[in-house]
Amino acid sequence: MNKVQTLAALAALAGSLTGIHAAEGYTDTPMQPNGKWHIHDPARPQPPVITSGSKFSEQASAPSDAIVLFNGKDFSMWQGANGEVKWKLENGYMETTKTGVIRTKDEFGDFQLHLEFATPSKVEGKGQGRGNNGINIFGRYEIQVLDSYNNQTYADGMVSSIYGQTPPLVNAARPPGEWQTYDIIFESPRWDAQGKLVKKAYVTVIYNGIVVHHRRELYGATGHRSIGSYDKPHPPKGFIQLYEHGNPVRFRNIWIRPLREYDQGS
């Protein structure tokens, strides 16, 4: 074995020990419940890239039964890790700073959520290091925020994925710096009085006007390099969190409305 072959063999051995391949992702993580792919598998197929319409729900006014979570003027509906929110506030949007996660003051059950975001116009980093954030429902179920415009990463970690579980049906990402929209319909899981799961969580996500998840079942809580479960019952309501991963992501026009039951009257 010559020197070049030796170095190649050592590189291959290192890759097998860490589970990290040249493409961003892992092969030493647990398998997805469908048995086809590892969590964050670099070989999982990338969704086809499409171009969304120029407009969908940008700056959509809140319906009369909605709760406005952010109107571009203050953080009155939010709290930081130690109470006060210390993110940047200007020109009708909030922007992450290195002061940690923020979350709503109120809790919500089954809901329709509208939110707009923009990743940095100046491209820095790659993969998961580029415009990383997330919509974390109840602190358990994350819809990923990432700059996925000409930026490949593991499919279950790209923008609009159910993080670590299900990639979007298509990649409808807009260029860096442009405003993008999420319209998320979430159904909370339910347990009976004995702690038995009677309904899993489901989510529908419309991203830039494109359906990327249609009442998709969640495997449980989302996580990095791990698969969630429903082994820990929780109330049918919870907070909405926005992450902070060192990338100055912007948010604006956030509102939420509860999902009603049929035939309940006024």
DSSP H or E segment with residue 3: helix 3-18
181: left (phi over 0), alpha (psi -120 to 50) or beta: beta
Give domain limits for the chain.
51-258
pLDDT of residue 246: 86
pLDDT of residue 3: 45
Burial call 79-93: b when 16+ CB within 10 Å, e when fewer: ebeeeebebeeeeeb
- 63's CB contacts (< 8 A; 6+ apart) are 255, 257
pLDDT of residue 21: 39
Do 257 and 69 contact (CB within 8 A), yes or no? no
Do 97 and 226 contact (CB within 8 A), yes or no? no
pLDDT of residue 82: 82
The residue with tokens 């925020």 is 145
Which CATH number applies to 51-258: 3.40.50.1980, 1.10.10.10, 2.60.120.560, 3.40.50.1820?
2.60.120.560
Total-model pTM? 0.90
Rounded Cα distance, 10 and 3, in Å: 11
Distance of CA 220 to the CA centre of its chain: 14
pLDDT of residue 17: 39
The one-letter amino acid code at 127 reads G
The one-letter amino acid code at 82 reads N
DSSP H or E segment with residue 206: strand 202-207
Sequential pLDDT tens for the chain (266 residues) = 444 344 334 333 343 333 333 479 999 999 999 889 999 999 999 999 999 999 999 999 999 999 999 999 999 999 998 889 999 999 999 999 998 999 999 999 999 999 999 999 999 999 999 999 999 999 999 999 999 999 999 999 999 999 999 999 999 999 999 999 999 999 999 999 999 999 999 999 999 999 999 999 999 999 999 988 999 999 999 999 999 888 899 999 999 999 999 998 87
pLDDT of residue 153: 97
CA-closest candidate to residue 158, choices 48, 253, 239, 240: 48
CA-closest candidate to residue 70, choices 94, 100, 102, 96: 94
Q: Is residue 156 helix, strand or coil?
A: helix
CA-closest candidate to residue 133, choices 123, 151, 120: 120
